[in-house]
Structure 1
Amino acid sequence: MSLTLLDIESIANLSYLAIDKNQIYDILKKINDIFSLIKSIKNIDTTNIEPLYYPISLIQEKILFLRKDITIKNNNYFKNYQNLAPIIHDSLYIVPKIF
């Protein structure tokens, strides 16, 4: 399937898009390139390839190396952050008004 200039103009008219006459050839080429890519993908032989039902798990196993979640026990972060704050009231950080 490929489109013609008349097809592009018709689609633009139906979509209420104003396309510059200088750009219409570039748009036509890009759309036809997309159609040819789709056509070439359809021609790929996939008879011996098992379908992926959950491709995310495959990506995580082969590409993403995530660290394990580790719970840190007995941390003192709360006190450390409270000590860094300039003003604290009832364990809340007090910030100056902007407005």
Structure 2
Amino acid sequence: MTLTPTDVNRIALLARLELSPTEQAAMLTQLNGFFAIVERMRAVDTTGIAPLYTPLSAVQDVRLRMREDRVTETNERAANQRSAPAVEGGLYLVPKVIE
């Protein structure tokens, strides 16, 4: 996939960036370089290769450090909601800002 200067202008517009012609040319080069790397990665046949959750697991046996799933903090909802301007049924009430 190769981008054109028109593509870079559209991306800049969507990102609300104002790029000079020099910056646009540099961005075009960088983005096309990025997509070239992605295409090279896609060309590698990875069928039959299990995904790794960490690169270390390719060279050594790595065990997941799982913690026990238990509650460690007390319920402080009432104390946290004392400073709220409006609360109802344990929920924060906020004014409607979009109609």
Distance 1:6 1:57, change over 3 A: closer
Report what 2:88 is aligned to. none
Closer/same/farther in 2, CA of residues 15 and 50 from structure 1, 3 Å limit: closer
Aligned AA for 2:20? Answer: D
TM-score (norm 1): 0.51
Alpha-carbon offset, residue 24 of structure 1? 1.1
User: Judging changes above 3 Å, is the alpha-carbon distance between structure 1 residues 47 and 14 closer, same or farther for their aligned structure 2 residues?
Assistant: closer
- Paired with 1:18 and 1:34, the residues of 2 have a C-alpha distance of 21
Question: Percent identity of the aligned residues?
Answer: 30
With over 3 angstroms needed to count, the CA separation of the structure-2 counterparts of 1:23 and 1:59, relative to structure 1, is same
1:23-42 mapped onto 2 (5 Å cutoff): 23-42=23-42
Alignment RMSD:
2.3
Could you tell me which amino acid in structure 2 is paired with residue 34 of structure 1? F
User: Number of residue pairs matched?
Assistant: 61
What residue ranges of structure 2 are gaps of 5+ in the alignment? 62-99
Structure 2 counterparts to residues 18-57 of structure 1, below 5 A? 18-52=18-52, 54-55=53-54
Structure 1: which 5+ residue stretches go unaligned? 63-99
CA gap of 1:57–1:33, structure 2 versus 1, over 3 A, is closer
| CA radius of gyration, larger in | 1
- Alpha carbons of structure 1 residues 14 and 50: separation in structure 2 relative to 1, 3 Å: closer
The TM-score with structure 2 as length reference comes to: 0.51
Q: Give 1:28's aligned amino acid.
A: L
Alignment correspondent of 2:57:
58
SS in 2 for 1:23: helix
CA 1:45–1:60: 2 relative to 1, 3 Å: closer
TM-superposed CA distance for 1:61, in Å, is 3.6
2:35 and 2:50 map into 1 onto residues whose CA distance is 26
Q: Give the partner amino acid of 1:30.
A: Q
Q: Structure 1 pair 2/60, CA: closer, same or farther in 2 (3 Å)? A: same
